[in-house]
């Protein structure tokens, strides 16, 4: 069985780990979000791709929930001491992919090729592809103005309500090599319980990827990022309330209209399954508190629609 998973960063990576544990590392291709990518201190950072890499390599910090285990912040202290931009928490071990990645990108290597190399050097066998090699950046329109993703999310602590999400560069962005093939070859497509607007949205903004998903001949199953109508972490619930008008399973499914056949929802949201239309609800416990819970959720998602 071949599986393609669309994923954002930390929340998505946890789910991807479960899917890889259940389906096998060679059965899975991950298509990752690059709308969060940012240039910090002259370096190209791909936070979502790195979150997935660290989790698949077993290098992620479990307690903090993001970044690498055993991280130190000496370089950032020096940046601060020198009055440099210290708003983006780049750890001493974290920048290892950025300088390597930045140098390769400047030399003309596509992001997909650099990502494959980083994955191989970390011992990750699962294929991880950026949605696109082209420049695609998420912007948020808010009452306080328009901000690039990381400025809104990190520097402003995603406190501004979001009126609209835009994807700079999406019109011209081509799918990265391997992504269309992975979708065409997959027996099953999964959307991780990532933020629909700012993690899965930028992937769907690549026109040919969206068209391939709309024309799929295999089931596509999304997992809701909400439990009892609330995000486990981050702004997904606030965004859904303001942009979709609510936080029920049908509001989540509405973000993926025409693209998914089933939505895995938490038991805590099972009371309100109206308005799902053709999308089949699959109710289970969705909190990935540990490896077992991750695997159980992956098993449910993998078995949600009879192949
Ligand atoms: P980011 O790119 O690091 O922000 O991560 P993602 O977009 O991939 O994931 C963030 C989303 O994951 C949030 O909306 C959370 O509500 C959701 N999430 C995190 N952990 C869990 C979990 O254990 N279960 C479910 N259902 N959703 C989760
Ligand atoms: Ca992200």
Tens-digit pLDDT profile for residues 81-135: 999 989 999 999 887 788 899 999 999 999 999 999 999 999 999 999 999 999 9
Report which protein residue has its CA nearest ligand 1's atom 18. Answer: 11
Dist. CA 107 → ligand 1 center (Å): 34
Asked if 182 and 29 count as a contact pair (C-beta separation under 8 A), the reply is yes
- 247 CB near ligand 1 (under 6 Å): no
- 47 CB near ligand 1 (under 6 Å): no
pLDDT in tens, the chain (307 residues): 999 999 999 999 999 999 999 999 999 999 999 999 999 989 999 999 999 999 999 999 988 889 999 999 999 999 999 999 899 999 998 877 888 999 999 999 999 999 999 999 999 999 999 999 999 999 999 999 999 999 999 999 999 999 999 999 999 999 999 999 999 999 999 999 999 999 999 999 999 999 999 999 999 999 999 999 999 999 999 999 999 999 999 999 999 999 999 999 999 999 999 999 999 999 999 999 999 999 999 999 999 876 5
pLDDT at 94: 84
What count of other Cβ atoms lies within 10 Å of the Cβ of residue 205? 23
pLDDT at 307: 54
Dist. CA 51 → ligand 2 center (Å): 9
Pocket test for ligand 1, best of 14, 195, 249 (most atoms within 8 A of CB): 195
Asked if 285 and 266 count as a contact pair (C-beta separation under 8 A), the reply is yes
Token pair in block for residue 68: 């690498």
pLDDT at 65: 87
Q: Cα–Cα distance between 15 and 46 in angstroms, integer? A: 19
The DSSP call for residue 9 is S
Ligand nearest to the CA of 52: 1
pLDDT at 32: 98
pLDDT at 98: 85
Dist. CA 214 → ligand 2 center (Å): 24
The atom of ligand 1 lying closest to the CA of 12 is 8
pTM above 0.95, yes or no: yes
pLDDT at 245: 98
Report which protein residue has its CA nearest ligand 1's atom 17. Answer: 225
Dist. CA 121 → ligand 1 center (Å): 27
Q: Cα–Cα distance between 41 and 55 in angstroms, integer? A: 25
Asked if 282 and 304 count as a contact pair (C-beta separation under 8 A), the reply is yes
pLDDT at 96: 78
pLDDT at 246: 98
SS3 7: strand
Which residues make up the environment of ion ligand 2, defined by Cβ < 5 Å?
8-9, 36, 48
> Cα 218–294–278 angle (5° rounding)?
35
- 35 CB near ligand 1 (under 6 Å): no
């Amino acid at each position: 069985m071949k599986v393609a998973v669309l994923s954002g960063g930390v929340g998505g990576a946890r789910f991807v780990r479960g899917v890889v544990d259940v389906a096998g590392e060679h059965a899975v291709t991950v298509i990752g979000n690059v709308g969060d990518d940012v240039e910090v201190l002259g370096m190209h950072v791909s936070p979502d791709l790195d979150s997935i890499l660290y989790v698949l390599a077993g290098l992620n910090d479990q307690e903090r929930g993001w970044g690498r285990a055993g991280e130190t912040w000496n370089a950032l202290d020096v940046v601060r001491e020198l009055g440099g931009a210290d708003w983006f928490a780049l750890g001493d071990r974290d920048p290892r992919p950025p300088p390597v990645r930045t140098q390769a990108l400047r030399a003309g290597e596509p992001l997909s090729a650099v990502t494959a190399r980083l994955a191989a050097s970390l011992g990750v066998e699962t294929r991880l592809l950026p949605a696109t090699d082209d420049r695609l950046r998420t912007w948020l329109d808010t009452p306080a103005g328009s901000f690039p993703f990381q400025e809104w999310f990190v520097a402003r602590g995603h406190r501004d309500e979001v009126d609209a999400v835009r994807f700079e560069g999406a019109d011209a962005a081509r799918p990265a090599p391997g992504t269309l093939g992975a979708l065409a070859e997959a027996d099953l497509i999964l959307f991780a319980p990532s933020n629909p607007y700012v993690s899965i949205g930028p992937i769907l903004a690549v026109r040919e990827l969206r068209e391939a998903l709309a024309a799929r001949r295999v089931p596509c199953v999304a997992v809701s990022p909400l439990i009892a109508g609330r995000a486990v972490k981050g702004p997904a619930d606030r965004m859904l309330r303001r942009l979709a008008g609510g936080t029920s399973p049908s509001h989540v499914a509405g973000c993926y209209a025409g693209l998914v056949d089933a939505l895995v929802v938490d038991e805590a949201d099972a009371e309100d399954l109206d308005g799902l239309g053709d999308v089949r609800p699959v109710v289970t416990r969705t909190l990935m508190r540990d490896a077992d819970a991750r695997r159980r959720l992956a098993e449910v998602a993998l078995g949600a629609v009879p192949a």
